Amino acid sequence: MLNKLNSQQREAVRHVSSPLLVLAGAGSGKTGVITSKIAWLIRERGMLPRKITAVTFTNKAAREMRSRVKGLLSGVSSRGLTISTFHTLGLNILRKEFAALDYKPGFSIIDQSDALVILKELMRSEQTSDNKFPEHVLGRISSWKNAFVLPQQVTSAIAEGDPVSQAAARIYPAYERQLHACNALDLDDLITKPGVLMKNDPEILYRWREQINYLLVDEYQDTNTAQYELVKMLVGARGNLTVVGDDDQSIYAWRGAEVENLSQLSEDFDDLHVIKLEQNYRSVGRILKAANSVIDNNPHTFKKALWSDLGYGDPIQILEAKDEQHEAERVAASMMQHRFQKGLAYGDYAILYRGNHQARVFEKILREHRIPYFISGGLSFFDRTEVKDVMAYLRLVANHDDDSAFLRIVNTPRRGIGPGTLEKLGKYASEKDISLFSATSHLALDSRITGTQLATLRQFSHWIATTAEAIHSTDMRLSIEQLLDQVSYPDWVRSNSEDEVQTERRLKNVKELLDWLVMNDSEDGEDKTLSDCVANLVLRGILDRSNDEQEGDEVSLMTIHAAKGLEFPHVFVVGLEEGLLPHRSSIDEDNIEEERRLFYVAMTRAQRGLTLSMARVRQRYGETIDCDPSRFLEEVPDDDLDWLILGRKISTEEKMSQGNAALDQIRAILG
């Protein structure tokens, strides 16, 4: 099982005598180490799969790890093994411990848009014309939760903080109370609240330490304070822990990640053992030399140097352009030429950029040249109107106290319930400190809402309650399909679609959602309640925000952040200018180190070829701005670079090659 691993990887797999930190450089086979260790613990050490938990940050990574472990254990059962995201682990803990939080079973998980609805209602008394202000307040509350800071611990921000902190400190307790009233949790709660429970209740802490005998954590440099505290509590003094991380790839400080958590391990665990994985199995030597040269400009707690035996590779090209339009044209021409010369597929190429706004001009140029492309970060499946509608129905059926779900579907399709009626209902519910659903059944509501409006509200609530009973007692999918038919939702989709094509696409999305629901219900062979399935789907929708289902032979366009964990034979990193990469905000805040790590991540996505591009001028906020080359270009060794600067005379060979590439494009267009 371990014969395909190098000596450092094998040592990491076999080390169980103390906590272990595996410093895994880009492309060094960290996933292979984690999955091999899980299989080794089960097969060689006889550890029960249900006593092992591995956590990572994306559903995609978790799925890949599960698949690899299954392959390594061929013939040996892995039933009960937990490989999940941090948030899924937190959700599973809260499902069993909800009573300790004074929550009811079937609680809802809300996404950012639903959280903003709640927050905006709470902020009505905050007189501001800035539409983004609630988002900033929500972001501040989120950062406090990530830092494991509870509402009662931020009162000082009222007097000393900036206006956002002051507003957030006032609203944070009310926001928590409102979530509790709705029997709902936001994404951050899935980490913070398990930590709070274990910190305050020794019984719960003991129970989960007994449940998890060995813990493995992937991408440890991306953990925030709350996640680290949860890890420490689950592991305890036993130290049955392996974490894998790379401080050079820490690029998520903006969402609370603390790269210092890597160095903190040695302070919290005196017997911490450190193993470095420095052999890279992805990139050629020249790319690694350049990447090492760049990242060496950052301070390091743990020094390492990647190396490769895949050959040295071609020089790294620097494309200089007049402006962003010309940059996109030069990138497209270079790609076409290279593809023709090497006989490669479009899918062998990726274009990486700092910000999503940079994609527009590249999309335009690629379309003009008939180059197929896939852009990561499009509209999420779970953000589509029809999917959010159906999910809201399911959330309300599973949790009658889910006010945001109630408001979304009470008049979808139209039931004739006007905004004035909903305002009266909301005011009554607020006065009584109950949910909107519960308020509909109060006899005292008759004095506020009368006639048809009241009857319609009560009819809707009765139907939701009846549907909930039916789903619990019959086939889940059939019941949901009947639910949608009863409200004539397919007809609603047809009447609100531009044409039949859009109708079919939207109805197909509903079908896919139900397929996922059924698949989730049968996963692991365990029967799940509707609330379990809905919570898992909501969490999947929050964590997998982008539409990343690439089809066919296409050039990949994505941000550098989105590219982390991926690899491509040939990579173009564009916009290498001061103010763009590194970003202006990072320059102003003197946070160049994270931007350098971001560039390092971009460089190490490339397997065989790397091209960097920059523009002399760029349009920003309607103005033409002169651009200086990124400081990071100066950190790449000159002897590894091939500068293709403006004004350079093109050789006859290059002209012929470009002409052939153009002919190749014409042939492709003509079939």
Contacting residues for 531 by C-beta, under 8 A, at least 6 apart = 105, 106, 107, 398, 399
Other CB atoms within 10 Å distance of the CB of residue 520? 17
The CA distance from 536 to 517, in Å, is 9
Q: Which two tokens stand for residue 37?
A: 């260790």
> By 3-state DSSP, what share of the chain in percent is helix, strand and coil, each rounded to 5?
55, 15, 30
Q: Which of 9, 53, 249, 421 is catalytic?
A: 249
The question of whether 218 is a catalytic residue gets the answer: yes
Among the options 10, 11, 14, 31, which is catalytic?
A: 31
d(CA 535, CA 398): 9
Q: Supply the Cα-derived Rg of the chain in whole angstroms.
A: 27
For the chain, the maximum distance between any two Cα atoms, rounded to a whole number of angstroms, is 88
Query: Whole-angstrom Cα distance, residue 603 to residue 560?
Result: 10
Strand partners, 273: 20
Pairing, β 373-375 against β 555-559: parallel
Token digits for 138?
Answer: 């929500």
Residue indicated by tokens 């008394």:
125
* 575 close to 614: Cβ distance less than 8 angstroms: yes
Q: Please say whether the beta carbons of 540 and 318 come within 8 A.
A: no
Give catalytic status of residue 31 as yes or no.
yes
Residues 610 and 603 sit within 8 Å (Cβ to Cβ): yes
Q: Is 605 a catalytic residue?
A: yes
236: left (phi over 0), alpha (psi -120 to 50) or beta: left
Residue of 282, 408, 605, 608 marked active site: 605
Catalytic residue among 97, 188, 189, 218: 218
Query: Catalytic site residue 567?
Result: no
Three-class secondary structure of residue 450 per DSSP: coil
Point out the residues that are catalytic: 30-31, 218-219, 249, 605
